[in-house]
Homo-oligomer: A and B are copies of this chain.
Amino acid sequence: MQKSEPPLENPEVPAARSRGRPRAFNRDMALAQATRLFWTKGYEATSIADLTQAMGIGSPSLYAAFGSKEALYAEALRYYGGQYEHLVWGGFLVAPTARAAVHALLMDSAKVLPGCTADMPRGCMVTLSAVGCEGHAELGELVQGARAVTLHRLLARIERAVSEGEISASIDTHGLARFVQTIQSGMSILARDGASRAELEDVAATAMLGWDARTRTMADR
């Protein structure tokens, strides 16, 4: 179904240049362009013609390099994760407490989602793919799975906080994770509609008030 990352030889070795005619385009550059298009317009609304034009190649080259439109979208989704995920999850992963982690996640989201770079689309590509993948079951499951990762990370971090005594064991960890996920998902929608970084930071701050009240319920932490 998918190549699942071929043997993956030692990347330090330039891999002994292949034989035939060399590719006239940079695969990563092309993938970056495709990612931008899918991110901005969604899967259905992005045509092969759009893609080939943005990449500056012909359709045979696209199919030779990526296989199909669906496969290209899947690869774009991976590329998106590799390129942009750390902007939002970097602080979360290294924070010493669950509260600091969630605070970092929401504040970083507020910074990134409105499009921190000039040519960076607004909102999260994964979140905004919630609709429009109907009729493409595989892609639907793919993006739904990508969104599930958010909940899983939040839940794992909160449960760790419970085990470490940061948060009372009487807390509904799942509910708390769902709350944070809701905030972050909603921020993508607002960002796509033009909300500013300051506005989203304000939302994040209010959300943290909810977090504090919630984690105080029935325990003083």
For window 123-147 of A, CB contacts with B under 8 Å fall at 123, 127-132, 134-135, 144, 147
Bound: A148/B134 CA distance, A: 26
- Beyond A186-B186, A189-B189, is A41–B147 a contact (Cβ under 8 Å)? no
**A40, A132, A148: residue with the most chain B Cβ atoms closer than 10 Å:** A132
* Residues A175 and B189 in contact, CB atoms below 8 Å apart: no
* Residues B193 and A178 in contact, CB atoms below 8 Å apart: no
Cβ contact of A213, chosen from B42, B123, B187, B212, cutoff 8 A: B212
Q: Write out the residue numbers on chain B whose beta carbons fall within 8 Å of the beta carbon of A174.
A: 199
Q: List 17 A-B contacts (CB under 8 A).
A: A42-B42, A123-B131, A129-B131, A131-B131, A175-B203, A178-B199, A178-B203, A179-B206, A182-B187, A183-B186, A186-B186, A206-B213, A209-B209, A209-B214, A210-B211, A210-B213, A213-B213
